């Protein structure tokens, strides 16, 4: 593990270049360019607001629904886009994988890091919304980078498994969108965590994204500190998943070029 991380460190410039490449390629030749980063979460938040604030009326306390859902959609979109793009990253770049040596985790990692820019751009919209709805951003919002770091670990864990398995079984590519959809409904994005029945709560929080999303909302919308019971399970699962997935990835990496 240490050896792998050390090698990754030696290749940090490649990780950087490849991330920049992913960003450039994503925005080149698309009419709206970086605006797409905003369109997706904003569009989804809009639809959710219409459906869940006006038709179904999901109770969100004194938080306006648009900002309630957008605060959750922001990190969720980052997660979901990263996972779907990174899963395919090894197969998509097979001409490289079969020709040149470099630590293969750079490919899925770059896909994830490239999503950070989208995340940042889309966050600007949130700041605007916060002004509009007069949601005071408290000191607790300074914890966002910490949550992002945990989310990154978690995302990388998922992505290491998914991208490596996708090399062996191309079915993974088709399972991912379905899985992400299910996952979204099991995460408090549309609805608040308080709507989940008390007795299922512990089980529910085994979904690491659940604790994370709820914590995001607490620190940026409600101006409160995250609850240990909500956040710690996510942190633990993220760390364990990352370590196990990375070890698996490096093991599987040895035969990538044989198979791809």
Residues at the contact surface with other proteins, assessed by CB under 8 A: 13-14, 16-18, 21, 24-25, 28-29, 93, 95-102, 167-171, 254-255, 257-260
Residue 241: CB minimum distance to other proteins, A: 21
Cβ atoms 146, 232 nearer than 8 A? no
- Name the residue nearer to other proteins (CB basis): 147 or 165: 165
Residue 136: CB minimum distance to other proteins, A: 42
Q: In terms of Cα–Cα distance, which of 80, 85, 251, 109 is closest to 168?
A: 251
Residue 100: CB minimum distance to other proteins, A: 6
- Name the residue nearer to other proteins (CB basis): 217 or 250: 250
| CA atoms of 141 and 137, how far apart (whole Å) | 6
- Name the residue nearer to other proteins (CB basis): 171 or 229: 171
Q: At what angle do helices 106-132 and 35-48 cross, to 10 degrees?
A: 60
Residue 168: CB minimum distance to other proteins, A: 6
- Name the residue nearer to other proteins (CB basis): 24 or 224: 24
Residue 247: CB minimum distance to other proteins, A: 17
Query: Which region, left, alpha or beta, applies to residue 134 given φ > 0 means left and ψ of -120 to 50 means alpha?
Result: left
Cβ atoms 233, 206 nearer than 8 A? yes
- Name the residue nearer to other proteins (CB basis): 19 or 123: 19
Assigned token pair, 217:
């909302």
| CA atoms of 72 and 40, how far apart (whole Å) | 13
């Amino acid at each position: 593990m240490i050896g792998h991380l050390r090698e990754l460190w030696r290749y940090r410039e490649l990780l950087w270049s490849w991330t920049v490449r992913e960003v450039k390629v994503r925005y080149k030749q698309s009419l709206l360019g970086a605006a797409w980063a905003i369109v997706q979460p904003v569009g989804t938040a809009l639809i959710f607001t219409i459906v869940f604030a006006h038709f179904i009326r999901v109770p969100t306390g004194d938080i306006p629904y648009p900002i309630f859902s957008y605060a959750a959609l922001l990190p969720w979109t980052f997660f979901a886009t990263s996972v779907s793009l990174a899963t395919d990253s090894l197969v998509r770049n097979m001409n490289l994988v079969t020709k040149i040596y470099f630590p293969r985790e750079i490919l899925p990692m770059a896909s994830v890091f490239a999503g950070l820019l989208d995340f940042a751009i889309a966050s600007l919209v949130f700041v605007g919304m916060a002004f509009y709805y007069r949601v005071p951003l408290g000191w607790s919002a300074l914890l966002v980078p910490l949550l992002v770091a945990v989310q990154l670990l978690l995302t990388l864990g998922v992505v290491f498994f998914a991208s490596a398995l996708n090399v062996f079984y191309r079915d993974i590519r088709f399972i991912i969108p379905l899985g992400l959809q299910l996952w979204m409904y099991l995460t408090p994005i549309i609805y608040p965590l308080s709507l989940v029945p008390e007795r299922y709560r512990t089980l529910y929080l085994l979904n690491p994204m659940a604790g994370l999303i709820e914590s995001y909302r607490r620190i940026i919308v409600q101006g409160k500190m995250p609850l240990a019971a909500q956040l710690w399970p996510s942190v633990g699962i993220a760390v364990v998943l990352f370590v196990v997935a990375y070890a698996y990835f490096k093991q599987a990496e040895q035969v990538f070029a044989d198979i791809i």
